[in-house]
């Protein structure tokens, strides 16, 4: 009896990442990776790279749609981009970011809109901003069978109330409130919490105090995982770069150069060249000329 050939690791398929996967990674002390995506090719690329979770962030308002902040983006726009991401990513946990005013009016509306992310957007879970004031909404959403991720610290949808994009939790009173908010969200049923722009020591303390994973953005290395806006990572968003971002590429400059090179090639007729052109058989061409004379 012949021995079966060994299976290549590259040929094996990865298991779908779930909220339980993230919880288990925290328990094992393994770091969780998360990035934002807003379209099919990007989500496919990061899924193949092996990212744990993909957030269809309301940051698309700024980095894709060109708004000044995240407030104008609508449910319909979020669902449109969610569907595109879901077509490209088959392994990562997909999280839809609930946009401004999609969950603040009532618990019932929050639950209904959360359900739309799963039913119409192809998402596995949702994220909503706020601490204790969102506990009832988180409780209702999770009671409906929809995994909910919390988000405390700098909450971009509240920039008018916060006075701009400013770090949070820098005083003892504010820090204590964030610790309490994290515990309240955990009790309400959140499967994870994003900590944005809070002191590293505070983020590490919160991460140790709660049993659910924390995902940091500008919150230091003590979180259970990290998330960044992909357009910042790739250098695609040129308006500004937050202090906590590490650029892994500068695609904006590369794109600008490629576009300028294309324009020059077209204007000087270097493009299209012969290799980019469809040819016609000489006999066919001669026959055509006779017919149209």
Q: Which residues are catalytic?
A: 196
Contact 208, 188 (CB under 8 A): no
| Cis bond before residue 97 (omega within 30° of 0) | no
Q: Comparing C-alpha atoms, which of 54, 52, 31 is closest to residue 222?
A: 31
Contact 78, 97 (CB under 8 A): yes
Element (H, E) at 55: strand 53-56
Q: Is the dihedral of CA 196, 198, 201, 202 positive or negative?
A: negative
Per-residue three-class SS string for 114-177 = HHHHHHCCCCCEEECCECHHHHHHHHHHHHCCCCEEEEEECCHHHHHHHCCCCCCCCCHHHHHH
- For the beta carbon of residue 28, count every other beta carbon within 10 angstroms: 7
Assigned token pair, 10: 């590259």
Residue 34 pairs in a beta bridge with: 53, 227
């Amino acid at each position: 009896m012949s021995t079966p050939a060994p299976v290549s690791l590259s040929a094996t398929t990865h298991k779908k990442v779930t909220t339980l996967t993230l919880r288990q990674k925290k328990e094992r002390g393994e770091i969780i990776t998360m990035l934002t995506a807003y379209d099919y090719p990007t989500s496919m690329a990061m899924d193949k790279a092996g990212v744990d979770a993909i957030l269809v962030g309301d940051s698309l308002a700024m980095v894709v749609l060109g708004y000044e902040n995240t407030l104008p983006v609508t449910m319909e726009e979020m669902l449109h981009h969610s569907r595109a991401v879901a077509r490209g990513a088959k392994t990562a946990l997909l999280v839809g970011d609930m946009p401004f005013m999609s969950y603040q009016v009532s618990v019932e509306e929050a639950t209904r809109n959360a359900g739309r992310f799963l039913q119409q957007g192809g998402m596995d879970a949702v994220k909503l901003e706020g601490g204790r004031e969102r506990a009832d909404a988180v409780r209702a959403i999770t009671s409906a069978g929809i995994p909910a991720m919390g988000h405390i610290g700098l909450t971009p949808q509240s920039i008018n109330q916060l006075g701009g994009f400013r770090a949070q939790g820098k005083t003892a009173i504010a820090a204590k409130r964030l610790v309490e908010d994290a515990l309240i969200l955990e009790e309400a049923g959140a499967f994870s919490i994003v900590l944005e722009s809070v002191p590293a020591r505070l983020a590490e303390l919160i991460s140790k105090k709660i049993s659910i994973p924390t995902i940091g953005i500008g919150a230091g290395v003590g979180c259970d995982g990290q998330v960044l806006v992909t357009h910042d990572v790739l250098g695609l968003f040129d308006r500004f770069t937050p202090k906590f971002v590490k650029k892994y590429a500068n695609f904006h400059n590369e794109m600008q150069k490629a576009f300028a090179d294309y324009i020059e090639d077209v204007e000087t007729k270097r493009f299209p060249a012969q290799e980019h052109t469809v040819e016609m058989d000489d006999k066919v061409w001669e026959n055509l000329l006779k017919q149209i004379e």
